[in-house]
Structure 1
Amino acid sequence: MATRVGMVSLGCPKNQVDAEHMLFNLKKEGFEIVSDAALADVVIVNTCGFIESAKQEAIDTILEFCTLKQEGRIKAVIATGCLAERYRDEMKNEIPELDAVIGLGANDQLVDIIRQIYCDGKPVCAYGAKTDLSMEGGRIISTEPFYAYIKIAEGCSNCCTYCAIPAIRGKFRSRKMEDIVSEARWLAENGVTELVVVAQDTTRYGEDIYGKSMLPELLRQLCQIDGFKWIRTLYCYPERITDELIDTIASEEKLVKYLDMPIQHCNGEILKAMNRQGDRKYLTELIAKIRAKIPDVILRTTLIAGFPGETEEQFEELCEFVKEIQFERLGCFAFSPEEGTKAYDMPDQIHLKTREHRAEIIMEEQMIISDRLNEKCMGKTFEVVCEGFDRYAECYYGRSAADAPEIDGKIFFDSDKKLRTGEYVKVLVDDTLDYDLIGSRVD
């Protein structure tokens, strides 16, 4: 009987793509992949190590499966991913129940490591160079079958002072365009209709191997692939959003009119302290240009509240900016001091409660903005991809092109016709609920 392996992947879509590569390699070697990790012989927790809340979630998940191991319900627990890479020795020393701690550069050794655990029962710690993390190879798609993420680069060279990603995943390195297009074609041939392009900084794609950003050209090539209906790009840094990229999004029908642009702040002094570029004037003008060239564009951003040294006046400027710009989608997080980053040791650290309170203020304002924007959707018809049926609400739910999977809101709707997951339908909106919309399918 084949060894059953289950995986829990935490964190971002980029981490999820890594998990899908690992699952493919395991299946190819004869392991049985089970969807419920609690029913597996071996459980792999693919961890996130980005901020404190993500680290705590990863540790809690590992401990949960270690308890099942102690109860005899599973045989081995393995930690992979960013937390395992970031805290190599600490992971094994502080959680001795772990059978293996595997760094990112050792993902390709996973099959041999599991066999080694079964053979001699001794704990394993395996690491490698960050550049040993492959972006190529087969995948087992773990999302709903109609959409998938495609990773176009690994690592990051931006070195924002609050971020540990460069230390965890290494310098930015792009994939060859022909390899990305080949993988995208395979995804389309296997039923994927929504492609989500990801990297730590998608707008930097190609600079290291082609000498300039090649994201617009890549997107144009992806649009030529039959089968895709929506192509969405996440994590576009504002200072690298060029006129060419804006014009490409505006002109290509398959590119959804959605731009994910994490700006983190608007005050020039805070952005400089973050090792980010720009200021309120630059961002305001950029956003005005985007909205002029891409009518009805959906702008999504993320902000950090309570960065070291952020004054009340600078925070108030951020609040005013949010009210002025009226982002369609926005998330705000309290600054998380991360060991090994420059911001961790900066002077004028702000108390946790103040950081959290400032983030709450931003999100309360965004709720008001979202309510106002949702009201404008009343009476409008949207194309929606059906994601499933909610038994409790007794209706279908899905997303329009204005909403990214696993991030943004939903549209709940009635339908006289039975629908299948992944089917695209027209929905007339007639009500709202927090960040979500409510409506009915129309012919």
Structure 2
Amino acid sequence: MKFSTQKPQKTLHMVSLGCTKNLVDSEVMLGKLSDYKLTDDAQNADVIIVNTCGFIDSAKEESINTILNLHEERKDESVLVMAGCLSERYKEELQKELPEIDVFTGVGDYDKIDQLVNEKRSNFTNEVFLQNETNERVISGSNYHAYIKLSEGCNQTCSFCAIPSFKGKLHSRTLESLVKEVKALVAKGYCDFTFVSQDSSSFLRDLGINDGLERLIDEVEKIEGIKTARILYLYPSTTTLKLIDKIADSKVFLNYFDMPLQHISASVLKIMKRGKGVEKLRELMQHMKSKPNSFVRTTFIVGHPGETQEDFEELCSYVKEFKFDRANVFSYSDEEGTTAFEREDKVEQELIDERAEILGEIIASTTQESLENEVGKVFEVYIDGESQEHEYLLSARKTLWACDIDGEIYINDNELEEQIEFGKMYKVKITELVGDKLIATVIEKCN
């Protein structure tokens, strides 16, 4: 009788909270822990990692609740790790208050996670970790799409945002490093890319280059095998009409314009320390909208200290008039270490919530209008797989849309003789809108 001497493979349960930038860091950790088998079963996992978000109150609460719930159900000998922004921002307090956690680490040690887990040791490196092409990532959730992180940190001084206090100043990757990473992913079959950072339009400005994104577009266009790409998080004061034209003229980058405006009232923007005259801002937005097949997304904050009823009404009028394809509204949240936190002209919480609801309803109706405009059209989509709604419906995404945030299209019919392949691009015809879901028929396979 033979006995195997091989040890059973250890398992890892990963939870990545917050933004897509966090997701890239989680994927770096997965790459470092590739000896572990990924599992959805947190109760029996050998290692559990929560990559936390520390942006606003609701995100902080979600991070703490998630980690405490996982602690409650985990097995005795497992290792529980708290990583990321929240952990970095409140490292002293959290280490004192959460003895349940075995390993604490912040935003500087993603590439050392294997050592920290093996040694059951906490560590906070002073410098933020910047992804480069030598860090092998495990791309999660897709066999054709990947996020690429351009930079870390931010040089802006927005009144409401604490990110620079724990992520530091802008620190861009080199163009060479980005190109190498994208080429390596294309070689593995990835063809759709989303470029992200805290402030994408400032890419390379810390290295003395003011047209970093334009240079990136030039380099990415030279890489054979990329079908589509988009850029998220443009910043008003570092986005130019020339950059918008460059995106619109690109054969690879789609006319996807994501610029968090936060407000449109001149007085609130001044309080928020978001430099750029309102006229200039409106001109930028109009220029984006004027591009063929453009898709414009933004975010707003309501209830910022100093926001009057007139300011709020001006914002509502602008959103109704502009008709964004997608937008998000955030209720102002007090963040220690920010200038807004120190202000005395705070808006009552009840009024903040009321304003968020009013603006949320306006956004819901402009989003619905954007979706209604798609009915009857023919365009390209990526097929992701079976939908969670029904096994006979396939889930797809318009190539123009960003992953996970802009919606899902249900495919309920196929005019082709062949079986549909997941992860591939097809032309579809939109037949109807049911609730907030577009329904489509596949009519052609794209090369």
Report how far residue 364 of structure 1 moved: 0.6
Letter of the aligned partner of 1:104 in structure 2? V
Q: Which amino acid aligns with 1:306?
A: G
Aligned mates of 1:232, 1:414 — CA distance in 2: 27
CA–CA distance in structure 2, aligned partners of residues 81 and 398 of structure 1: 31
For residues 130 and 151 of structure 2, the distance between their equivalents in structure 1, rounded to whole angstroms, comes to 11
In 2, are the aligned partners of 1:223 and 1:231 still within 8 Å (CA)?
no
Counterpart code for 2:380: E
Aligned residue for 2:336?
Answer: 339
Question: How far apart, in 2, do the equivalents of 1:228 and 1:79 lie?
Answer: 35
Answer whether contact 2:132 2:181 (CA < 8 A) is retained. no
Q: CA deviation at 1:412?
A: 1.0
CA shift, 1:366, in A, is 1.5
Q: 305, 311, 314: which one pairs with 1:314? A: 311
Per mean C-alpha deviation after superposition, the further-off stretch among 13-22 and 416-425 is 416-425
Q: If the length of structure 1 is used for normalisation, what is the TM-score?
A: 0.93
Which deviations, in whole Å up to 9, do the C-alpha atoms of 1:43-91 show, x marking residues without a partner?
A: 011111111111111111101111123x53x612110000110010221
CA distance in 2, matches of 1:38, 1:182: 38
What is the aligned length?
432
Hey, what does 2:24 align to over in structure 1?
A: 17
Map of 1:5-404 to 2, 5 A cutoff?
5-27=12-34, 30-34=35-39, 36-69=41-74, 72=76, 75-117=78-120, 124-136=121-133, 137-292=135-290, 294-390=291-387, 392-393=389-390, 394-404=392-402
Q: Which runs of 4+ in 1 moved over 6 A?
A: none
Q: Distance in 2 between matches of 1:388 and 1:406?
A: 14
Deviations 1:133-171 (A, max 9, x none): 554511111131110000011111102111111012111
State the distance in 2 between where 1:33 and 1:240 align: 40
> What's the CA shift for 1:296?
2.4
CA distance, structure 1, for counterparts of residue 400 and residue 128 of structure 2: 35
Q: 1:330: Cα distance to partner?
A: 0.7
- Name the counterpart of 1:429: 430
Structure having the higher helix fraction is 1
Question: What amino acid maps onto 1:59 in structure 2?
Answer: I
Q: Please give the secondary structure, in 2, of the residue aligned with 1:332.
A: strand
Q: Which amino acid is the alignment partner of residue 69 of structure 2?
A: E
CA contact (8 A) 1:6 1:38 kept: no
Does the 8 A contact of 1:403 with 1:410 survive in 2?
Answer: no
Quote the sequence identity (%).
37
* Closer, same or farther: CA 389–303 of 1 in aligned 2, 3 Å: same
Amino acid in structure 2 at the alignment position of 1:114: V
The letter for the 2-side match of 1:382 is F
Distance 1:144 1:390 in 2: 14
Cα contact 2:375–2:430 (8 A) shared by 1 = yes
SS in 1 for 2:140: coil
The secondary structure found in structure 1 opposite 2:337 is coil
2:288 match: secondary structure: helix
Cα offsets for 1:210-235 (capped at 9, x unmatched): 43231011012112211111101000
Matched AA of 1:110 = I
Q: Once the 2 structures are TM-superposed, how far is the Cα of residue 132 of structure 1 from its aligned partner?
A: 5.0
Given that 2:132 and 2:177 are in contact with CA atoms closer than 8 Å, whether structure 1 keeps it comes out as no
Assess if the C-alpha contact under 8 Å between 1:104 and 1:133 holds in 2: no
Q: Which moved more, 1:242-251 or 1:182-191?
A: 242-251
Distance 2:368 2:39 in 1: 41
Structure 2 distance, partners of 1:243, 1:403, is 22
User: Matches of 1:332 and 1:132 in 2, distance apart?
Assistant: 30
Q: For 1:313-339, what per-residue CA distance to the aligned partner results, in whole angstroms no more than 9, with x for missing partners?
A: 000000011011111111111111111
Give me the whole-angstrom Cα distance separating, in 2, the residues matched to 1:376 and 1:127.
49
Query: 8 Å contact 1:162–1:342 — kept in the other structure?
Result: yes
Q: CA deviation at 1:102?
A: 0.7
Partners of 2:148 and 2:106 in 1: how far apart? 22
* Corresponding residue SS for 2:441: strand
Q: 2:257 touches 2:288 (CA, 8 Å); kept in 1?
A: no
Is the deviation greater in 341-350 or in 230-239? Answer: 341-350
- The answer for unaligned runs of 5 or more in structure 2 is 1-6
Q: TM-score, normalised by structure 2?
A: 0.92
Q: Is residue 418 from structure 1 mapped to residue 423 from structure 2 by the alignment?
A: no
Q: Name stretches of at least 5 consecutive residues in structure 1 with no aligned partner.
A: 118-123
CA deviation string 1:373-407 (max 9, x = no partner): 32222211121111111254331121113321011
Measured on the aligned residues, the alpha-carbon RMSD in Å equals 1.7
- Provide the rounded CA distance (Å) in 1 between the counterparts of 2:425 and 2:206: 38
